[in-house]
Amino acid sequence: MDVLYLTEADVERLLSMEMALEVVESAFRTLASGQAQDQPRQRLRAAAGTWLHYMAAAEDAGGYFGMKLYTSSPEGVRFLVPLYRGDTGRLVALLEADTLGRMRTGAASGVATKYMARPDAARVAILGTGHQAPTQLLALARVRRLERVHAYSPNAERRRRFAEEMSSLLSVPVEALGSAAEAVREADIVVVVTSAKQPVLEGAWLAPGTHINAVGANFPQKRELDDVVIQRAARIVVDSRAQARSESGDLIIPFEGQPERWQQVRELSEVVAGRYPGREKPDEITLFKSNGVAIEDVATAARVYERGRAEGVGRTLAMWEP
């Protein structure tokens, strides 16, 4: 059986942000129609500091199913997506999936922003300038006409380099600022993409009409947003309610003792399908809490695989030969 193996370099060559945005939006629409299935992330601790994380999805309309598997340890994080055909169960591809994951995470924020931010939103604040931050801005720049970006992270040199590199990449002024509050002031869109365990965004800083993409925290004990952000948000949307209830500390902690508040939380698939408005009033504060779900990975991997096969990219592995 021939299996196409795609490296990080192959995925980077094949996957554009335009493609990722189109695929992720379509995947959420398919999920809303009942033609896709998504299973929340599970975690298995193998040893002190070493974990196996796994999540699965099936896209019936596209004819593929698969998983994202990744390990995290003191040596780093390694991502892999095995992709299968839905009709035969054949393994058709193995994709190294760090680039894929960063692109689909950025695309999910882009899709949420498309439906939830004000149409005239043009000023962005980004808190966090690490590995996931560039694709967040790449996606926003394709769904809104950006005028400027303010960036903050605790490391002054890192935020300076990030601002310089993203200014060049986006052809949009990106300025590194010395505090989170200063960066957020007057922003139309706020992206929070950090490794923080305690809140780094305060609701008191937010101007009316702001849209927030909260991306970094996906453990129940970690949070990036304070209680005031949650209180001020007129609309709270997640990629998966089931997954959010198990790992979104940004919602789990403020909702503790008030389980009825989960009834206010809607899914991005409902917004994309037109069942729930992402925004109704210009002055509403809206929140997309992103955890990252498997249907994003599987749908994106399927498109990358099909393009790689068509263009002759990657190498073939012979597996299960008689």
Which is it for the CA torsion 206, 211, 217, 223, positive or negative? positive
So what's the pLDDT on residue 2? Answer: 93
Distance of CA 92 to the CA centre of its chain: 25
> Which tens digit of pLDDT belongs to each residue from 196-207?
999 999 999 999
Tell which CATH classification among 3.30.1780.10, 3.30.2010.20, 3.30.70.20, 3.20.20.70 matches the domain 2-101+295-318.
3.30.1780.10
41 CB neighbour count, 10 Å cutoff: 19
So what's the pLDDT on residue 48? Answer: 85
Region 145-150: mean pLDDT is: 98
Region 307-315: mean pLDDT is: 98
Region 114-143: mean pLDDT is: 98
So what's the pLDDT on residue 286? Answer: 98
Q: How far apart, in whole angstroms, are the C-alpha atoms of residue 215 and residue 186?
A: 20
So what's the pLDDT on residue 310? Answer: 98
So what's the pLDDT on residue 202? Answer: 98
Amino acid at the residue 55: M
Is residue 30 within 8 Å of 58, Cβ to Cβ? no
So what's the pLDDT on residue 60? Answer: 82
Region 211-216: mean pLDDT is: 97
Region 179-189: mean pLDDT is: 97
Q: Check whether 61 has a pLDDT greater than 80.
A: no
Domain layout of the chain by residue ranges? 2-101+295-318, 118-292
Look at residue 41 and give its three-state secondary structure. strand
So what's the pLDDT on residue 273? Answer: 98
Ranges assigned E (strand) in 153-201: 174-176, 189-192
Q: Check whether 212 has a pLDDT greater than 90.
A: yes
Taking every pair of Cα atoms in the chain, the longest distance, rounded to a whole number of angstroms, is: 65
The two beta strands, 189-192 and 211-214, are parallel
Region 262-274: mean pLDDT is: 97
So what's the pLDDT on residue 181? Answer: 98
Q: Bridge-partner residues for 78, per DSSP?
A: 71
Percent of the chain residues past pLDDT 90, beyond the cut = 94
Average pLDDT in the chain? 96
pLDDT band at 165 (very low <50, low <70, confident <90, very high): very high
So what's the pLDDT on residue 77? Answer: 95
So what's the pLDDT on residue 321? Answer: 83
Region 124-130: mean pLDDT is: 97
- Cα distances (angstroms) measured from residue 135 to each of 90, 105, 223, 247: 32, 8, 21, 23
Region 249-273: mean pLDDT is: 94
Region 15-32: mean pLDDT is: 97
CATH architecture for residues 118-292: 3-Layer(aba) Sandwich (3.40)
So what's the pLDDT on residue 13? Answer: 98
- Cα distances (angstroms) measured from residue 139 to each of 166, 198, 213: 12, 26, 12
- List phi, psi (to 5°) of 131: -60, -35
> Which tens digit of pLDDT belongs to each residue from 214-233?
999 889 999 999 999 999 99
Q: Check whether 134 has a pLDDT greater than 90.
A: yes
Which is it for the CA torsion 235, 117, 211, 153, positive or negative? positive
Q: How far apart, in whole angstroms, are the C-alpha atoms of residue 250 and residue 261?
A: 13
68 is catalytic: yes
- Cα distances (angstroms) measured from residue 206 to each of 125, 201, 212, 232: 11, 9, 9, 9
So what's the pLDDT on residue 225? Answer: 98
Look at residue 233 and give its three-state secondary structure. strand
Do the first three CATH levels of 2-101+295-318 and 118-292 match, i.e. the same topology? no
> Which tens digit of pLDDT belongs to each residue from 66-107?
999 999 999 999 999 999 999 999 999 999 999 999 999 999
Percent of the chain residues past pLDDT 70, beyond the cut = 100
So what's the pLDDT on residue 92? Answer: 98
Amino acid at the residue 142: R
- List phi, psi (to 5°) of 84: -120, 155
Q: Lowest mean pLDDT of 60-64, 120-124, 190-194, 265-269, name the range.
A: 60-64
